[in-house]
Amino acid sequence: MPPTIWTYPHRDIGEPPLPDGTPVRRPTVPVQIPSVSEDLLAVIDSGSPILVADAQLFKWLGVDLANAEPVYEIPLGLGASFGTVPVFHVRLKLRPPAGTNAGPFEWNLKLGARSNWRLPFAVLFGQQGWFDTFTTTIDADTTIVAVPVA
Amino acid sequence: MDETALRLYRNRWVALLDDGSVLADADNLDALLTLLADLPDAKASIQRIPAADEPLFVGLR
């Protein structure tokens, strides 16, 4: 059975426009976590080998950062700062685009916990955990995600 | 993005409703998620409004 195709328009998340006035629009998808009905904004970055998120999110994902054993740790530069990031197994739900008559798609992934997070989104999706799960096509206006059939 | 939200909530975590208005805000993600857990379910999107002079993120290094 072919995968389901979900298309998400790029989103202006309030970043200052480029010096020539061009708005900054990011490839984003909405994800859901347990206990919270609202969506978290995730930006897709094909150049990132891993997936990483604000460390404050992990309590809500059931991971006690002070005591849980990470799958591994990796030195990581993110924006202007640098640090070692522990990576944990978690589960997230990808919410379908508005107007789609489908439930969210839940999957397992490895997610790095980055402290002192200063980005305007909560999660960054890269290669291992996103692109190896969802065939993703990004053009100038949209992100097209092939969602596996459960 | 709604101009009022941009002006009032720069450098804060917000839950944005579809019409661009702000359902809740806090100075960090954990505080915002705690606030939202006590509110009725709503269709909102969680992000941080960047500061006006914030450098543009171009990826991991």
**A10-31 pLDDT tens trace:** 999 999 899 999 999 999 999 9
Q: Which tokens sit at A145?
A: 């995600």
- What is the structure's pLDDT at A4? 94
Q: Write out chain A residues lying below 8 Å of B45, CB-based.
A: 30, 38-41
DSSP state of A113: E
Q: Per residue in B6-61, pLDDT tens?
A: 889 999 999 999 888 899 999 999 999 999 988 888 889 999 999 988 888 887 65
Q: A23, A12 in Cβ contact below 8 A?
A: yes
Task: Provide the chain B residues 23-52 that lie in CB contact (below 8 A) with chain A.
Answer: 23, 28-30, 33, 36-37, 41-50, 52
Residues in chain A with pLDDT < 70? 78-81
Q: What is the ipTM of this complex?
A: 0.90
Nearest CB to B47 within list A45, A56, A120: A120
Can you tell me the distance from the alpha carbon of A120 to that of B12, in angstroms, rounded to the nearest whole number? 9
